[in-house]
Amino acid sequence: MDKKEFHNNLIKAINEVYPFTKEMVINKLPEQFKFIVKINSTFREGLEDGEVTFPKVKKLNQISKPVEIEDVVDLLWMDYAIPEWINIQVENVDKNFTYFSLECCGRFSKLKEFLYHKSEGYPPFHALSPSLPPDSLNENDEVIKRFNLNWNKNGKS
């Protein structure tokens, strides 16, 4: 996957996550985005041909400051390889920005066959809902009321 396709898949994932999050929360979600990136450093034993890790890279297990979309691609593009999976969700909001969390696998690959979440249409991204307060779900785990996105940060739902 080249950088342009990776960038386009990030945009597709944003276009999936942002609208359904807007339907779930009471917050106004600005259309200006920032991204908080965390690259895990835990990897399973026995990498396959085509998989690489970067154990000496300092940005592993660090949480980035909020960055622009272009910076996301630069942070995650290492030696022409990208994380095999990336969970994306809206994590926070303020009056200026909607903040997306990107939690990334520590295994990287240059090969599309190793990327997860192909069925979603924008590998390696996996669209997740925001963290849900317990009282927003019914017994079937269906959202029954909209909630404050920052419920777990300020104690309000």
- If one counts the domains in the chain, the total is 1
Region for 133 from its dihedrals, namely left if φ exceeds 0, alpha if ψ lies in -120 to 50, beta otherwise = beta
Query: Which domain range does residue 96 map to?
Result: 3-154
**Mean pLDDT lowest for which of 8-17, 40-49, 117-126?**
40-49
pTM given for the model: 0.90
φ/ψ (deg, to 5) at 60 = -70, 140
Q: What is the pLDDT of residues 88-136, one digit of tens each?
A: 999 999 999 999 999 999 999 999 999 999 999 999 999 999 998 888 8
- Token couple for 113: 């066959």
Summarised one tens digit per residue, pLDDT across range 48-70 is 888 988 877 877 778 889 999 99
Distance separating alpha carbons of residues 10 and 73, to the nearest angstrom: 9
Predicted local distance difference test score (pLDDT) of residue 157: 43
pLDDT on residue 70: 94
In angstroms, rounded to a whole number, what is the distance separating the alpha carbons of residues 75 and 37?
8
